[in-house]
Structure 1
Amino acid sequence: MSARPIAHLSRRWSFVAAHRLHVDSLPAEQNREIFGKCNNPYGHGHNYIVQATFSGPVDEATGMVTNLADLDAFAKAELLERYDHQNLNTIKPFLTLVPTTENLAVEVWRIFSAYPHAKLTRIHVEETGNNAFDYFGEGEKEVS
Structure 2
Amino acid sequence: MVYLTRQEHFNAAHRLYNPAWDDAKNEAVFGKCANPNWHGHNYDLLVTVKAKPNYETGFVFDVKKLSTIIREHVTEKLDHKNLNEDVDFMQGKMCSTENLAIEIWKQLEPHIPAGIHLHCIKLYETPRIYVEYFGE
TM range (shorter): over 0.9
Q: Does 1:14 align with 2:12?
A: no
Alpha-carbon deviation of 1:32? 0.5
Tell me which amino acid in the other structure corresponds to 1:136. F
Could you list the per-position Cα deviations for residues 79-99 of structure 1 after superposition, in whole angstroms to 9, with x for gaps in the alignment?
111000000001223321110
Aligned CA RMSD, in angstroms, stands at 1.0
1:3 counterpart residue number:
none
Distance 2:17 2:5 in 1: 32
1:141 counterpart residue number:
none
Corresponding residue to 2:94 among 93, 98, 106: 98
Could you list the per-position Cα deviations for residues 89-139 of structure 1 after superposition, in whole angstroms to 9, with x for gaps in the alignment?
01223321110000001011112212333200111000012210001113x
Could you list the per-position Cα deviations for residues 8-45 of structure 1 after superposition, in whole angstroms to 9, with x for gaps in the alignment?
10110000000000011111110010100000001000
Alpha-carbon deviation of 1:72? 1.1
Q: Which runs of 5+ in 1 are unaligned?
A: 1-5, 139-144
1:113 counterpart residue number:
109
Aligned residues: percent identity? Answer: 35
Distance 1:100 1:116 in 2: 25
2:25 counterpart residue number:
30
Moved >4 Å (runs of 4+) = none
Alpha-carbon deviation of 1:69? 1.5
TM-score (norm 2): 0.93
Q: Does 1:83 align with 2:78?
A: yes
Secondary structure at 2:70's aligned position in 1? helix
Aligned residues: 133
2:41 counterpart residue number:
46
Alpha-carbon deviation of 1:70? 1.0
Tell me which amino acid in the other structure corresponds to 1:40. N
Alpha-carbon deviation of 1:60? 0.5
2:129 counterpart residue number:
131
Distance 1:35 1:22 in 2: 7
